[in-house]
Amino acid sequence: MEDANVRDSTGYRSADRRLSTLGRHLGALSPSSAASRLPPMASENPTGTIAPSPTAGFYGGSVFAHVVQAPEDPILGVTVAYNKDPSPVKVNLGVGAYRTEEGKPLVLNVVRRAEQMLVNDPSRVKEYLPITGLAEFNKLSAKLIFGSDSPAIQENRVATVQCLSGTGSLRVGTEFLARHYRERTIYIPQPTWGNHPKVFTLGGLSVKTYRYYDPVTRGLNIQGLLEDLSSAPSGAIVLLHACAHNPTGVDPTLDQWEQIRKLMRSKGLLPFFDSAYQGFASGSLDADAQSVRMFVADGGECLMAQSYAKNMGLYGERVGALSIVCRSADVAVRVESQLKLVIRPMYSNPPIHGASIVAAILKDREAPSFVPSN
């Protein structure tokens, strides 16, 4: 929240001015008229003591006594159980994260160097970022996933906003679609990341599934996938894992991606990519972005949610980006304006530190690759 006590354009502190105005108003009242304007309990309580409130717990317990204990998150709850376990030989099988040989959290060397560089820069300040986030971060994130030579970028057809990691990017994109897209149904692979259905449902979309994993072959059920998407209504949204499908690790081949692309474009299905592991599937940032770039190359529209939690190990910094590829530059400008209206009442604007780390790494051509080495 912005500080209410900063000086305004007239030189007065906002809070001081409001208090001064209130004091003058109350001072102009006679004791009798002032009392008549107070609530009944206050006018009947000349000592000024605060009377018990029905919401203060004095009348038979908490007003929240009916709230039931919620279950732990099935993914993050594993870490909660791990932290409570006193065993000296325990292993955390919850959230995947970089660890040392001793099982301790690991910060990548390239992240350490970038962070130190930022700390040593006296010109850096802690001002609010714009609603859309750090401009340099947005520009570099779009280039990382779409390619620096992407026609969509060169033609200014991409609206990119910094978000709170992958989850925040998905949520902002979902609420934008719920407000401005004609279809309200999103098809997600079966199985998928456990948080996907919750994000989409609470964001205003109806969730359906399409076949993806074949437990018999332990591979992709491409036939079932194509059949289910063929049956989807025209214009439906389709969630696609850009690479390193979570939780199976099974990805389509490039030929299969082309089949998926042709089918989706022929039916007017809207792709919504989730990229949480760029660089992890093949060891190449560009190779892991090929599925996305195929859809962008045909000139069609799509949404792209990015996260730097995994590939840069910036889990707690909550750094991500949402990009929407549009048909034209003027549409992209209008889309960005509406994304700001989604973000402002949600979290106002994103944090600066993690995005600055990412931007420092991506713009430094001499920095070592952050995937997969340390």
Q: 70 Cβ partners below 8 Å, 6+ apart?
A: none
247-261 burial string, b = 16+ CB within 10 Å, else e? ebebbbeeeebeebb
Query: How far apart (Å, rounded) are the C-alpha atoms in residues 286 and 148?
Result: 10
How far is the C-alpha of 367 from the C-alpha of 113, rounded, in Å?
Answer: 9
What type of residue is 290?
Q
Instruction: Enumerate the β-bridge partners of residue 161.
Output: 322
Is-contact 241 194, C-beta < 8 A?
Answer: no
Q: HEC states along 160-191?
A: EEEEEHHHHHHHHHHHHHHHHCCCCEEEEEEC
Residue type, 46: P
Q: Which residue has the tokens 């060169």?
A: 154
Rounded to an integer, what distance in angstroms lies between the CA atom of residue 103 and that of residue 125?
A: 35
176: number of Cβ within 10 Å: 23
Residue 8 has a CB neighbour count (10 Å cut-off) of 9
- 3-class state of residue 322 by DSSP: strand
Element (H, E) at 213: strand 213-214
| Residues forming the active site | 193, 274, 310
- Number of CB atoms found within 10 A of residue 287's CB: 14
Residue 111: both structure tokens together? 């992240």
